[in-house]
Amino acid sequence: MTRIDRKFADLRAEGKKAFVAYVMAGDPDYDSSLDLIKALPAAGVDIIELGQPFTDPMADGPTIQLAGQRALKAGQTLDKTLQMARAFRETDDSTPIVMMGYYNPIYNRGVERFLDDAKDAGIDGLIVVDLPPEEDDELCIPAQNAGLNFIRLATPTTDDKRLPKVLQNTSGFVYYVSITGITGAAAASATDVAPEVARIKASTDLPVIVGFGIRSPETAQEIASVADGAVVGSAIVKLVEEGKSTSEIVAFVKGLAEGAHRA
């Protein structure tokens, strides 16, 4: 049982939905980013998505793209992201960390070495948006064998024929993308999301967490009410871009978490 599995078991026992927060590692710099992720659990964040900056983030909107550029410019590397996870683990051994990004940096490092390093650093799961299920032998299966959850994305265009393929080796949770398009592009709607979540849950026992287009406590609550939890990324990263202090960002995150937990 991974930290992710334990977290969802605990939340179910408490009758609560999950709140997941995305932060770009190294944005605007290593120390500020580390301070922020260390503060997230006390703000009510159940799972941290730690973005690995990449030069060609094709699934991300402008806010996340710019965050990655800032992080790379500040010298963020895969090594530094793993070190950030290790530093977080020095004071928190229970909050799950999911590394989210693209396959190229992992491929360049070597899959076996990367998985050893990720496990050692305290990473619990991976979301790699440019590896389809047809490539599961490349990273997904080795990751599962190493004890890491491999979390897959389902979208509004994932039809009933495609869904079983998406779910077949997924673990930890399913990340449902609430809108068609890039991150930060539109507002999520519980009315649209509810039937899609129900369709996915009819095919899997895994929790279904919904992300993209959630920017307020009210929307977090609405979305979490029809799913197993909500993810917020762009709205948090935007505050980093605006130069808000860690305390200001944490206050915003706390409101979002409270919204999801009220669902």
Picking from 77, 78, 79, 71, the residue whose alpha carbon sits closest to that of residue 36 is 71
Span 53-66, pLDDT tens digits: 999 998 888 999 99
**Residue 65's domain spans which residues?**
3-262
Find the CATH number of the domain harbouring 195.
3.20.20.70
Give the pLDDT band of residue 39 (cuts 50, 70, 90): very high
**243: Cβ contacts below 8 Å, ≥ 6 apart:** 28
8 A C-beta contact, residue 127 and residue 153:
yes
In three state form, how does the secondary structure of 14-46 look?
HCCCEEEEEEECCCCCHHHHHHHHHHCHHHCCC
184 has a pLDDT exceeding 60: no
For position 59, what pLDDT does the model report?
80
Span 116-160, pLDDT tens digits: 999 999 999 999 999 999 999 999 999 999 999 999 999 999 999
Kindly report the pTM of this predicted structure: 0.96
- Name the CA dihedral angle for 97, 103, 108, 110, rounded to a multiple of 10 degrees: 60
Active site residues: 49, 60
3-state secondary structure of 145: helix
Q: Which amino acid is at 69?
A: Q
For position 182, what pLDDT does the model report?
53
Domain count, the chain: 1
DSSP letter, residue 94: S
